[in-house]
Chains A and B, each alone.
Chain A
């Protein structure tokens, strides 16, 4: 080992230390807070979560909203990534910038923007009224639909970047080979391009799901009374109610669920990666 290598190894260990301090320690603290109530070890907080109807309902709702938003984001994100990857090489940076640009703005501000777009005076409802008459009732704000729209908006850039990167790694000669073998562009996409882009899809899905399941801001701003998700319950329990133990327990249950889903996805990703490793 030369000096340079030793230096980088050293840096690596510092990073590991940082990771332990900044991630493992807080998680441990959360776990301990959730089971150590008034100087006693107890699973009461977890019992409350799994025995009270409302927590189960919100848990299911959180999963449901996260899965739906992840799917919608994957579809839109794939279409966008594919579109960008097919632009002339020089223009791709520009298109990517457009997709990513929204991330430079605070999410709160962007969600207020959506509030206007989806609101009474917003273009969508105006157009709807124009098409179906003034009498027709349509509300978008303060609903699960608004929350899903918000989440999709929030996680889309991450998904687009992931899928775009894998699409760019696919040799253009592969789709030419497929076409030359008599396959239609459609067949080429489903048999060649899509299977080879799966690692990006899984990576994008992992990010999308974890961001969606842990979002706090989107339901707070765009959601109605019934759209509270697990993070909101955790926040309310900790900050408003002041019950740290319950808040920690909710956070930890959410963390476990996200980790479980991510492990499932990464197993799929590894399989996909194995298959697409070229040459």
Chain B
């Protein structure tokens, strides 16, 4: 994980940082490298330690072991106000007794910049988030989305070496969240800042990030690009996070592309760490793991026609927006239920009890060794 391309300019490195709270190791020897201009997401469920890492980078929490290195310099014990970082908080954290303009000016005044430069920068960044017309208002007069944009402008105005985001969108509704995601991505493209973004929402992470670090119980499960994580989740924990919601137990890996359960052979697209042929394990399947071959209301099709086709009965079906979700009961040598999603609206909605055939899609199926219950 630490072996990134050293020819790129490294912005931030975490060197084996560790945090212990009351005897519990909440951050366990984590290494991370982030290049200049990169957008990194720390993704994990609550309690995974993602916020603690962010706060250690910020300097709001001191690591018990290890170092935080910024552009080659050990800043582990530099106070947070001397680190020149920017931070966007979940609750916006705008100063309620100051106007929008004063909020954005705050960090610049603390840096004792010349007046002219302060004015210029405040104008620039308020314009950038399209809030110049509200400069004289107070935070409580603004909507949540507007407040978060002020917070963004305030953090950007100091032109920080790293911009830190602490679940900035979790207080916003879905529509605003979409808008803000676009805005953050747009600003990142335009300004090219280095960012660390804490979230529990894999969609936010996938949309924004150059790199994603998936955290579990204070350790990094996987650290790679969004594509890589989606295609090849190295652990069941990561897969589970990224939409591999179906699970088939008691599977034996035959070769590197096939797993077997009973008489059924299932193609496998990805293997977890340390998985070898003849290993006992389990499969995780995404919702798009099944390709439906026909939807005939009869049982007249022949097995010879499609050797790899699997027969199943529809147990339940519903529309999800313009997609269709089906619950399938496989009755072909094994008894197993899986949920699949078809990217189109089936009309009419297939009735319960209908017999169908489908084929497994290898790229949406991963094999993991063991029973995954560590």
Q: Which residue in B80, B139, B155 is a CB contact (below 8 Å) of A179?
A: B80
A171: B residues at CB distance < 8 A: 91, 93
B9: A residues at CB distance < 8 A: none
Query: Is A183's CB within 8 Å of the partner chain B?
Result: yes
- A278, B140: Cβ atoms closer than 8 Å: yes
- A195, B97: Cβ atoms closer than 8 Å: yes
**Chain B residues touching A, range:** 20 to 34
In the assembled complex, the CB of B7 is this many whole angstroms from the nearest CB of chain A, namely: 31
- A181, B158: Cβ atoms closer than 8 Å: yes
Query: Is B95's CB within 8 Å of the partner chain A?
Result: yes
CA A180 to CA B111, docked complex, whole Å: 12
Query: Is B154's CB within 8 Å of the partner chain A?
Result: yes
Restricting to B88-142, which residues have a CB under 8 Å from any CB of A? Answer: 89-97, 106-107, 110-111, 138-140
CA A185 to CA B80, docked complex, whole Å: 10
Query: Is B85's CB within 8 Å of the partner chain A?
Result: yes
CA A177 to CA B107, docked complex, whole Å: 10
Pair count A-B, CB < 8 A: 78
CA A220 to CA B155, docked complex, whole Å: 58
What residue in chain A is nearest B166 (Cβ atoms)?
Answer: A173
What residue in chain B is nearest A181 (Cβ atoms)?
Answer: B107
In the assembled complex, the CB of B260 is this many whole angstroms from the nearest CB of chain A, namely: 54
What residue in chain B is nearest A198 (Cβ atoms)?
Answer: B97
B140: A residues at CB distance < 8 A: 277-279
Q: A275-B96, A279-B96 are in contact. Are A180 and B87 (CB under 8 A)?
A: yes
A266: B residues at CB distance < 8 A: none
Query: Is B81's CB within 8 Å of the partner chain A?
Result: yes
Query: Is B86's CB within 8 Å of the partner chain A?
Result: yes
- B95, A174: Cβ atoms closer than 8 Å: yes
Q: A177-B95, A277-B140, A279-B140 are in contact. Are A183 and B89 (CB under 8 A)?
A: no
A178: B residues at CB distance < 8 A: 95, 106, 110
Query: Is A120's CB within 8 Å of the partner chain B?
Result: no
Q: Which residue in A173, A182, A275, A276 is a CB contact (below 8 Å) of B110?
A: A182
CA A187 to CA B82, docked complex, whole Å: 13
Q: Which residue in A173, A180, A275 is a CB contact (below 8 Å) of B97?
A: A275
A195: B residues at CB distance < 8 A: 97
- B97, A276: Cβ atoms closer than 8 Å: yes
What residue in chain B is nearest A177 (Cβ atoms)?
Answer: B93
What residue in chain A is nearest B94 (Cβ atoms)?
Answer: A177
Restricting to B275-307, which residues have a CB under 8 Å from any CB of A? Answer: none
Scoring B87, B96, B111 by chain A CB atoms within 10 A of each residue's CB, the highest score goes to B96
Q: Mark B132-168, 1 if CB is under 8 A from A, else 0.
A: 0000001110000001000000110010000010000
Scoring B60, B81, B84, B86 by chain A CB atoms within 10 A of each residue's CB, the highest score goes to B81
In the assembled complex, the CB of A200 is this many whole angstroms from the nearest CB of chain B, namely: 14
- A173, B139: Cβ atoms closer than 8 Å: no
Query: Is B251's CB within 8 Å of the partner chain A?
Result: no
- B81, A279: Cβ atoms closer than 8 Å: no
CA A114 to CA B233, docked complex, whole Å: 72
CA A178 to CA B158, docked complex, whole Å: 12
What residue in chain B is nearest A188 (Cβ atoms)?
Answer: B81
What residue in chain B is nearest A187 (Cβ atoms)?
Answer: B110
Query: Is A184's CB within 8 Å of the partner chain B?
Result: yes
Q: A275-B96, A277-B96 are in contact. Are A180 and B91 (CB under 8 A)?
A: no
Query: Is B338's CB within 8 Å of the partner chain A?
Result: no
Scoring A171, A177, A277, A279 by chain B CB atoms within 10 A of each residue's CB, the highest score goes to A177
Query: Is A192's CB within 8 Å of the partner chain B?
Result: yes
CA A270 to CA B82, docked complex, whole Å: 36
B366: A residues at CB distance < 8 A: none
Q: A182-B82, A184-B81 are in contact. List 16 more A-B contacts (CB 8 A).
A: A171-B93, A176-B87, A176-B89, A177-B95, A178-B110, A179-B60, A179-B79, A180-B58, A181-B81, A181-B107, A182-B84, A183-B81, A183-B106, A187-B110, A275-B96, A279-B140
